[in-house]
Structure 1
Amino acid sequence: MREENLKILITCEHGGNIIPEEYSTTFSGGKEELESHRGYDIGALELFQNFESNIGDFTHFSQTSRLLVELNRSLHHPKLYSEFTQHIAPDVKEKILQEHYFPYRNQVETKIGEWVRDGLKVLHLSVHSFTPVMSGKLRNTDIGLLYDPSRAREQLFAAHWRQQLHKSAPQFKVRYNYPYKGTADGFVTHLRKEFNDEQYAGLELEVNQKFPEQKHEKWEQLKNVLVSSFRQAL
């Protein structure tokens, strides 16, 4: 049963591949990259919207391409900017940060801070998807649940969620901290540094893009089962 003082936050950092008009010339010749998994997380926004309409006390998403600036990376990360924006003028980079990076991240962090000051706990789900094949290697899972094993609330919720997923849809393969480590650089990792385990628990959901790309009934089933099992795990 969901705790009375628990607030649910749902975000989607890579929901689209939009490039603002003022930067369009910077991306001339980049159509293929923008439409690929490099430009955005295919299917993630659609999945986020399923969560948004069913669960979530606060939701936030971006449809600006990660190739403009990577919202899920720290300022020091070498891939904060893509090959399209890496070599643009420093003042233009700063403008991108002020107009896209900081507004997105600050709005989420501010909401968490408000809840924490009110004595509430936060469970944050960051919705992502991953390409089925990376560097010629097949990724052999359907659903990845990313969390920090050193944080008890995250570990416990991931275990509960995986259990509910297995009960309701055993045909889907679920793995912990795959295809990425839950402690790798990211927005959730940053938020863990700002709020302790009692205040904040953050998980990243990674779904195989083979489902939204094929757009068959399994994709509809997967979206529904993810939302229902998440609710049951609370």
Structure 2
Amino acid sequence: MARTQEAGQDVVVTENREARGPFLVVCEHASNRFPAAFGTLGLSPRARTAHIAWDPGALGVARRLAQLLDAPLVAAGVSRLVYDLNRPPHSAGAMTARSEDYDIPGNLHLGPDERLRRTEAIYLPFHARLRAEIARRLAAGRPPVVVTVHSFTPVWFGKPRTVEFGVIHDADPALALAVVAEAKARTHLDCRLNEPYSAADEVTHTLRLQATPYGLANVMLEIRNDLIADPAAEEAMATGLAPVLKAALAAISRQPEEKAAP
């Protein structure tokens, strides 16, 4: 396991770096840590453990998927309220002042110096580490398939969400479409394409920054967090999704051959 130390806390954690499988797993909202250098942003302990601060269950699923897929894992070690690693530095959402019905006092009226401090301490080390993991595999002739793992709350602004498993794509929909097809065939999950979010909601920054420029197959997974509320549920979800991802990759790998066939 490798770690980057900034502001007295781990901002990025990498695991399984020597894995030989085709996938690379990413979890940008893995942690609800608030480094001392940035304080608690004026939030109560309850708010700091709520879904606004991280994606509950996502890290457990991502870790198990990385093991099952023989894949490296790159995960965040800081709350997304300090810096949301799936947003670019110029985005208001990178250091949001409000999340759902919570105000984030420590993010109100941030000046350019503070935005730069957080960007240099958190965003740059995380994405540099992820880019390095991708580059290592590209250099070895093993272009990785980038899979980002997230979770979402079952109720949003008082409205229940019935979707259980969302599959989101950036510019290239091929892997996402294959994942949806395989999830519907192999699981009992209510699986939908580009729900509860899509690229139009600016949620594909990591894919757009790290995978799309290299032409890498990629997909963003969104799992309703009540389905991964404890370690056993995380394990079960990862165990169900690993064969889905493998089959989806096999399906898109066959497509060029099928198109070339007379």
TM range (shorter): 0.7 to 0.9
- CA–CA distance in structure 1, aligned partners of residues 182 and 212 of structure 2: 29
TM-score by length of 2: 0.75
The answer on whether the counterparts of 2:167 and 2:191 sit within 8 Å (CA) in structure 1 is yes
1:29 matched to which residue of 2?
A: 43
Q: Is 1:60 aligned to residue 68 of structure 2?
A: no
For residue 101 of structure 1, the aligned residue among 123, 147, 156 is 123
2:132 matched to which residue of 1?
A: 110
Q: Is 1:190 aligned to residue 206 of structure 2?
A: no
What secondary structure does 1:80 align onto?
helix
The answer on whether the counterparts of 2:151 and 2:225 sit within 8 Å (CA) in structure 1 is yes
For residue 74 of structure 1, the aligned residue among 88, 103, 109 is 88
The answer on whether the counterparts of 2:21 and 2:70 sit within 8 Å (CA) in structure 1 is no
Q: Is 1:167 aligned to residue 182 of structure 2?
A: no
Paired-residue identity, %: 23
TM-score by length of 1: 0.83
* Higher deviation after alignment, 203-212 or 109-118: 109-118
What secondary structure does 2:147 align onto?
strand
The answer on whether the counterparts of 1:16 and 1:64 sit within 8 Å (CA) in structure 2 is yes
Runs of 4+ in structure 1 deviating by more than 6 angstroms, as ranges, are none
- CA–CA distance in structure 1, aligned partners of residues 26 and 92 of structure 2: 23
What secondary structure does 2:109 align onto?
coil
- CA–CA distance in structure 2, aligned partners of residues 72 and 190 of structure 1: 10
**1:107/1:220 Cα in 2 relative to 1: closer, same or farther (>3 Å)?**
closer
| Cα displacement (A) at 1:178 | 0.6
Amino acid paired to 1:161? V
| Cα displacement (A) at 1:14 | 0.4
| Cα displacement (A) at 1:227 | 1.8
Q: Is 1:15 aligned to residue 37 of structure 2?
A: no
Q: Provide the alpha-carbon RMSD of the alignment.
A: 2.4
| Cα displacement (A) at 1:50 | 0.7
> In the TM superposition, what whole-angstrom CA distance separates every residue of 1:145-185 from its partner, at most 9, and x where no partner exists?
1113x52xx42x2333333323332x211101111114543
> In the TM superposition, what whole-angstrom CA distance separates every residue of 1:178-231 from its partner, at most 9, and x where no partner exists?
1111454321122355323xxx12211000011123x49665432310123222
- CA–CA distance in structure 2, aligned partners of residues 167 and 221 of structure 1: 17
| Cα displacement (A) at 1:53 | 1.5
**1:183/1:107 Cα in 2 relative to 1: closer, same or farther (>3 Å)?**
farther
1:205 matched to which residue of 2?
A: 221
For residue 87 of structure 1, the aligned residue among 93, 109, 118 is 109
- CA–CA distance in structure 1, aligned partners of residues 231 and 137 of structure 2: 39
Amino acid paired to 2:209? H
The runs of 5 or more residues in structure 1 that have no matched partner are none
For residue 56 of structure 2, the aligned residue among 42, 47, 51 is 42
2:152 matched to which residue of 1?
A: 130
